[in-house]
Structure 1
Amino acid sequence: MPKNVTLPYNGLALDRGRRGDPDWVASARAAGRVLAFWRDRCLVAGGVPVNMTTSPREALFLGEGAVGVFAVDLSDVAEDAAVREADADAAVDIRGLFTGLDPQEAATLAYARGMLHWTRNQRFCGACGGETAAEQAGHVRRCGACRKMHFPRIEPAVIMLVESRDRRRCLLARHRGSVAFSTLAGFLEIGESLEDAVRRELAEEAGVLAREVAYQASQAWPFPSGLMVGFRAVAETDTVAVDHDELDEARWFTRDEVRALGDRRPDSIESHLVGTWLREG
């Protein structure tokens, strides 16, 4: 059985239970913290996220911690205008800030980024095209024409560490346009289980059939709206037949060869999957 693990962006401690109380939300906004984003990038001053409590913009309620935490989106103006409005000095990718953040701050910023991305892309109803408006402090958008309610959706994806039959090597692939080797991953499709998705992705992209598929851990991944579900799999054969559609190359690596490739991105579940496998041999 997989052990409990703590992964980046997981464990968000904000309480969203009072989002249905507009009076409380308004009061919390006045005394709370308001994060600012521009087109999925966090506005910072001196490397620290700015606080736009006094901004007149509509704010999305993220949850309650020591104070209420909110987020505003300045994507309707140019980047330099957004920086000035927020009294910031830059708009940065939060993954670039990751190594300097504590786990709760990283989870909060990632959550804010994902929710604002959804809000920006749900301004119109997918059923009738009518304009939507925020309800539940920004966690629901209702169409003004057909009254359909729209909720934030996640896009689950599987990511897998695939072992050879003798378990001494793992499969890594180089995606088209990339120079780095990484584990395989892919989005879940309608009508399949998570395990089905692992087997399909391996077969489609690398021509590898899996005889064992075992869940390891999951990770919040709001970039923009994902959930990464990690698995270990064991191949039935060592034959690899790359599709050359999504992958340029895939091959088996020994543990020493994987170590020689260098470290993975520290905020990704891939680092956990590969690191766990390396420590076993």
Structure 2
Amino acid sequence: MKLAEKVTFGGSGLDRAAHMRGDPARIAEAMEHPQAAAVVMWRGKPLVLGPDLDRLALIPMDHPVLIEDRGGNGNGSVFLGVAAEGAPLFACDISDWEPEALDAAALGMFLDPSEQVHPDLPDASVFAELRRIMTRLSPVDAELAATAKAILGWHGSHRFCARCGAESLVSHAGWQRTCPACRSHHFPRTDPVVIMLITYGNSVLMGRSPGWPKGMYSLLAGFVEPGETLEAAVRREVFEEAGIRVGAVTYLASQPWPFPASLMFGCAGAALDRQILIDPTEIEEAIWVSRDEMMTAFAGDHPFLKPARRGAIAHFLLQNWLADRLD
């Protein structure tokens, strides 16, 4: 697919400088660099700026908030790489901070609309849900935010050694955890997921999960199991969820999806029949949608169907399917 890397979080060519991660002296020197800055995260939300919340608020590494909170939640700072102009970039988590009048209900919503303002961070900067603002960010900022969210989220959920249960320590500039008891090494987890553009003639298969907003449908998706190819995962998931057999499968594009830590493999598949038989434990509903209906949905004029969320690979694949740009 010629436009594969145009997907949100599709990458910006960030120099991750992985060769520096195992050198504590170089990382310490990078932290002291006069232009060193951090992507600041609070409970999975990046700190952003601007009236449209379309820019990351990169904070100097010597900012008092970062010095005070660095390592407070056991995560420390993660070295993200080097910016084009040579500035070292880090990710810092200040999730231990408790905002005043925190709206707990908003944090649990499907798409959290709340914003948090830290009194000691720059004016006009807020913590905002990444899913809400992801399409507004530049490719560089989107890659930095997705990487920071995923790697810090992994640290937050993998503090203890999976082999012996002892609390592990951050190492390799945040890209590894080492157990001081049994010396096991643990590496950031990424879960492979297939998401499928399944077509039959001029129609595409769409489904919805319980709890989704009214009218929201998307492409079917599911986790790849151990010992399974992407093609086999596509066929298995579609049959399990919708009872439809799939023939030829091709790869289209991928998308890092830090909610919490997936890599979405976008695939196209040809359905062998149209008869839908859903598994209600997997999805709530599945429907065939014609190309004309999907175009109406993308225009916002469909009576009940809403297009997949902008920024998600499902929206990207459907948009390119409508435009005949899947080759």
Contact kept, 8 Å, 2:4 with 2:254, in 1: the verdict is: no
CA deviation vs aligned residue, 1:96-133 (integer Å, no higher than 9, x gap): 22233211111111111111101111211111111111
Runs of 4+ more than 4 Å apart = none
Counterpart position of 1:93: 129
Contact kept, 8 Å, 2:205 with 2:287, in 1: the verdict is: yes
CA deviation vs aligned residue, 1:126-152 (integer Å, no higher than 9, x gap): 111111111111111101111111100
Instruction: Choose from 97, 111, 116 the match for 1:77.
Output: 97
Counterpart position of 2:320: 276
Stretch deviating more after TM superposition (170-179 or 195-204): 170-179
CA deviation vs aligned residue, 1:180-210 (integer Å, no higher than 9, x gap): 1111001111121111110111001000000
What displacement does 1:170 show? 0.9
1:9 aligns with 2:26: no
Residue 247 of structure 1 aligns to a residue whose secondary structure is: coil
Within 2, Cα distance between the matches of 1:173 and 1:264? Answer: 10
Residue 236 of structure 2 aligns to a residue whose secondary structure is: helix
The 5-angstrom pairing of residues 137-148 of structure 1 reads: 137-148=173-184
* C-alpha RMSD of matched pairs (Å): 2.0
1:25 aligns with 2:59: no
1:85–1:140 Cα change, 3 Å = farther
Within 2, Cα distance between the matches of 1:85 and 1:132? Answer: 31
Amino acid at match of 1:104: V
1:63 aligns with 2:107: no
Amino acid at match of 1:215: Y
Counterpart position of 1:173: 207
Structure with the larger strand share: 1
1:44 aligns with 2:88: no
1:87–1:125 Cα change, 3 Å = farther
Contact kept, 8 Å, 1:133 with 1:143, in 2: the verdict is: yes
Residue 206 of structure 2 aligns to a residue whose secondary structure is: strand
Contact kept, 8 Å, 1:43 with 1:83, in 2: the verdict is: no
CA deviation vs aligned residue, 1:164-191 (integer Å, no higher than 9, x gap): 1xx2111111222222111100111112
Contact kept, 8 Å, 1:36 with 1:86, in 2: the verdict is: no
Residue 233 of structure 2 aligns to a residue whose secondary structure is: helix
Residue 243 of structure 1 aligns to a residue whose secondary structure is: coil
Contact kept, 8 Å, 1:139 with 1:152, in 2: the verdict is: yes
What displacement does 1:85 show? 4.8
What displacement does 1:251 show? 1.5
Contact kept, 8 Å, 1:75 with 1:82, in 2: the verdict is: no
Counterpart position of 1:129: 165
Residue 252 of structure 1 aligns to a residue whose secondary structure is: strand
Amino acid at match of 1:147: R
Counterpart position of 1:239: 275
Amino acid at match of 2:297: L
Contact kept, 8 Å, 1:74 with 1:82, in 2: the verdict is: no
1:174–1:125 Cα change, 3 Å = same
1:34 aligns with 2:38: yes
Within 1, Cα distance between the matches of 2:159 and 2:99? Answer: 21
Amino acid at match of 2:45: R
Amino acid at match of 1:202: V
Counterpart position of 2:152: 116
What displacement does 1:278 show? 1.1
**Structure 1 residues not aligned, in runs of 5+:** none
Within 2, Cα distance between the matches of 1:43 and 1:141? Answer: 25
Amino acid at match of 1:173: G
Q: TM-score, normalised by structure 2?
A: 0.80
Residue 267 of structure 2 aligns to a residue whose secondary structure is: strand
Stretch deviating more after TM superposition (144-153 or 3-12): 3-12
What displacement does 1:279 show? 1.7
1:121–1:203 Cα change, 3 Å = same
